[in-house]
Every structure is written in structure tokens, then in C-alpha cells.
Amino acid sequence: MIWYLFVPLAPYLLWLLWAAAFHPLPLTYNWRSIWQRWAGTLSTVGAIAIVVMVFVVVLSMAQGVSKAYVRSGRDDQVIIMRQNARVEMMSSLSLAQARLILTHPLIARDGVGPLATEDIIVSKQVALADGSGAMSVTVRGTTPAGIRMRSQVRMLQGRWFIPGLSEAVVPQKMLNRYTGVELGRSFAMAGRSWKVVGIFDGDGSVYDSEIWTEVGDLRQAFRRYGNDSSMAVRLRSAADVPSFIRDMEQDVRLKLEAKPEPAYFADLGDAGRPMQVLGQIITLILTVGAVFAAMNTMYATVAGRTPEIGTLRALGFRRREILASFQWEAILLTALGGLAGAGLSLLFNGIRTGTVNMNTWSDVSYAFSVTPDLMAQGVGFSILMGIAGGFLPAWRASRIPVTEAMRS
């Protein structure tokens, strides 16, 4: 994204690279000059570091949200819902439809049986651990096949639920944010008491935000006989997905909507989108401010080194060499801030928190995901700031008449 901003600058950048390569004024000269006026340098580096850090951290949140969803799907699995349902929670399937789907020949089997699960999705208010209230959490009633199909889910502590006993399992990652759902405790839902018998890990997938229980128990508790939410199936191969989907949509007895899991989760992953847009707008605005600050510092540098520029010019350095030298100095300065900001943002990497998915209106847990790509984008931004903030001062430096420069 931000790399496109470099495209119109390409000729100038190439020229700068060329100038650096065949430069009579080495970059070490600029490096030392940067530290000559260290107070100005540190203030600019600090301000730019903060801007870059804000950029990387906000985008790492957005990235973290979509990552939770990307991790959840498999290419060869399909989610089947009522038409227009969009999310599992809003969907409903009849018993007859479910039976019919199960007979489809493309559905894969393992040693135990067909890899297909009918799930019921409801939501429940769970108290936040910090005492600030409660949030809507997804509760999924599922089947043994459902557990086998979601291979990223691993039992860490305790055991899976036994049908008929109103038992539930809770993701480990939910425990530091919520209370009342710890192993061994019971919570109330739909007029029953549910006991937490196991703690599982969803490997960063969306299942890390769901409480799981047995579908039959949930069906009884919510009196949803013959009215499950959705079905997920695994097919023999990913290549079978299009034809299976066609069957689901066109069979007159079904008329259902089927989506490959990756597509379904990608849609849900849009929850991180507003954050991403907000992050980008904020960064754009802040970048403008940072450019002014960098410009200030560079003008001060040029002013402070005017006699030196005069001397260099008197020695035979040309205007364009002065321009390149100061432009490089500005880029060095801001890139230093960019690197510092990217480094600082690493402090946030892996912090786990939650937000609300506006599609499902329930909590999704995610971790800040500071990737090398995001950090590179942050540094890229800082280089742009250096080019924008350094050009005018560098241009001015290259235009100072020799005699005037020597005099001051």
C-alpha cells in the first residue's frame, strides 16, 4: 500500500541512490553531522518514532483480528447456512435439511464417521475479569466430528464434555479476560447450570473466542429441536468445493447458502477493517505533522552549517551534491526515527485483547500481530517523511550563494 507512494518518487530516489554511490561526500559525514546537534536530532527522532509506532501498533491490531479468522478456515471445509444469514448465529437449518446434507457423497469420512457437524450458535453475557461489566461471548454447541474437524483446537487441561451432563469447555485465552468460566466452575445459561470441565487452546483461531458445549444439550436447553444454526463439512478434496456448493444452493429441498470456510472467515475478518482504516487515517494526519517537525530540524541544520556549505562549494562541490547530501541526511534522520518506532512497536507484539465483531456482535479475542511487513511499512513511512521534510531545506542549502555562505 504505502509502497505505491514511492512510485512517483522513483526517479528522484534512483538519482539519490546514484548520488550516494558515486558521492564525493560520504554518508558518514552526514551521520556525524546528525549527532552534532543531538537535541534537535533526538526530538525529531522521538516524534517520528511515536508516529511510526502508532501506525505499526494500530495496524497490528487490525492484522491480529483478521489473523484470528484466517487461521480458522480450511480449504476443503464448507459452512452451510440459511440463505442471507451471513453469520452462523443468524442462521437456522431444519432437521430434514441436515439429514439430507449428510448423505452427500462428497463428504469425507475418517475412522469414526462422516466429517460433518451440526452446530448451534448462541451468545451469552460473560463477566469481564476487570469488573467493568460483561460482554457477549459466542457459545457453540458442537459434535465429536466438529472437534475432529477443527484440528487447531487442542485440549490443554481437563477433558471434553460428555453429552447429557451440561458440560462446557473454555479456551485458555479467554481466562485472563473473563471470570466465572474457570475450570471447575459452573455458569448459568438457559435455565441450566453448565460446568466447565476442560480448557482448550485454539491456536489463535476464532475458536479461541468461543465457549464450546455439546450440541444436544444446547438444543434441549434452548428448545431448538430441529432448528440448528449451521453445518460444517469436510470434503474429500478442496477441488470438490465448487460442485458441493452448487448442490447446496440448487437442490430444491435445500436452497441453502454454502461458503468455503476461508471465504466465510475472511468476511467475518472484516471486523478489523474499521480499525485498519482508522489507523491509516490517523497515520496520514500524523505524518503531515512529523514532516513539519523534520523540516524544522533540517532547516536548523542547514542554517547552522551555512559557512560549511560555503566552504564546500568554494572547494568545488556542486549544487546537486549539496542537495543530495542534505536530502540523505534528512532521510537518515527520519529513518532512524522509523527504526526506533518499529522497534518500540515490538513491545506490543503478542498482547492479547478482544474486540467486538460487528457482524456477530460478540467478542473476538486476538493478539497484536506486529509483522516484519508492518514494521517495514512503518520504516517506509519514515523514509517518505525524510524525503518530504528534507527536500526544501536541502534545496535551500544547495541554492545559498557561495559568497553569502562564507560571510555568515
Partner 1 sequence: MRFLTLVLRSLFRSKRRTFLTVLSLSVSVFLIALLQSLLGTMDALTTSTGSGTRFVVQDKASFTNVIPQAYTNFLRQQPEVERFTVLQWFGGEYKDPKNFFANFGVDPESYLQVYREEANLPSIPLEQVRDFLRDGNGCMVGRALADKFGWKVGDVVPLKSSIFNLTVRLNIRIIFAGLRKSDEMVLAFNIKQLQEAVPWMKGRVGAITVRAKNPADIPRLCERIDHHFANSAQETLSITENAFNLNMMKLLGDYSTMVHSISAAVLVAILIVTANTMAMAIRERTTQISTMRALGFRSGQILSLLMAEGLLLSLLGSGLGIALAMGVASAAAKVAGQIIPWMADFIITPETLLLCVLITLALGLLSTFIPAYRASRRPITEGLRAL
Residues found near partner 1 in the complex (CB under 8 A): 39-40, 43-44, 46-47, 50-51, 53-54, 58, 61, 82-86, 89-90, 92, 122-125, 132-133, 135-136, 139, 189-191, 222-223, 227, 275, 278, 282, 285-286, 288-290, 292-293, 295-297, 299-300, 353-356, 361-362
Q: Shortest Cβ distance from residue 227 to partner 1 (Å)?
A: 7
With both helix axes pointing from N to C terminus, report the angle between 27-36 and 38-70 in degrees, rounded to the nearest 10: 110
SS3 of 99, please? Answer: helix
CB 88 within 8 A of CB 359: no
Structure-derived torsion over alpha carbons of residues 392, 394, 400, 404, reported in degrees to the nearest 10: 110
SS3 of 252, please? Answer: coil
Q: 130-137 contacts: CB < 8 A, separation 24 or more?
A: 135/178, 135/354, 135/356, 135/362, 135/363, 136/356, 136/361, 136/362, 136/363, 137/174, 137/178, 137/209, 137/210, 137/211, 137/362, 137/363
Pick the closer one to partner 1 by CB: 12 or 292. 292
Q: Shortest Cβ distance from residue 337 to partner 1 (Å)?
A: 10
Pick the closer one to partner 1 by CB: 162 or 285. 285
Q: Shortest Cβ distance from residue 242 to partner 1 (Å)?
A: 24
Q: Shortest Cβ distance from residue 342 to partner 1 (Å)?
A: 15
Q: Shortest Cβ distance from residue 86 to partner 1 (Å)?
A: 6
Closest by alpha carbon to 80, among 262, 268, 257, 265? Answer: 257
Integer Cα distance of 233 and 248 in angstroms: 12
Pick the closer one to partner 1 by CB: 28 or 132. 132
Pick the closer one to partner 1 by CB: 239 or 288. 288
C-alpha cell at 104: 452427500
Neighbours of 353 (CB within 10 A): 12
Integer Cα distance of 49 and 345 in angstroms: 9
Q: Shortest Cβ distance from residue 142 to partner 1 (Å)?
A: 17
Integer Cα distance of 199 and 211 in angstroms: 10
Integer Cα distance of 12 and 15 in angstroms: 5
CB 97 within 8 A of CB 66: no
Q: Shortest Cβ distance from residue 332 to partner 1 (Å)?
A: 18
User: Cβ neighbours of residue 331 under 8 Å, at least 6 residues apart?
Assistant: 16, 383, 386, 387, 390
Q: Shortest Cβ distance from residue 392 to partner 1 (Å)?
A: 10
Q: Shortest Cβ distance from residue 132 to partner 1 (Å)?
A: 8
Which residue type occupies 318? R
Pick the closer one to partner 1 by CB: 123 or 311. 123
Pick the closer one to partner 1 by CB: 205 or 355. 355
User: Cβ neighbours of residue 18 under 8 Å, at least 6 residues apart?
Assistant: none
CB 212 within 8 A of CB 160: no
Pick the closer one to partner 1 by CB: 227 or 408. 227
Pick the closer one to partner 1 by CB: 86 or 195. 86
Pick the closer one to partner 1 by CB: 138 or 377. 138
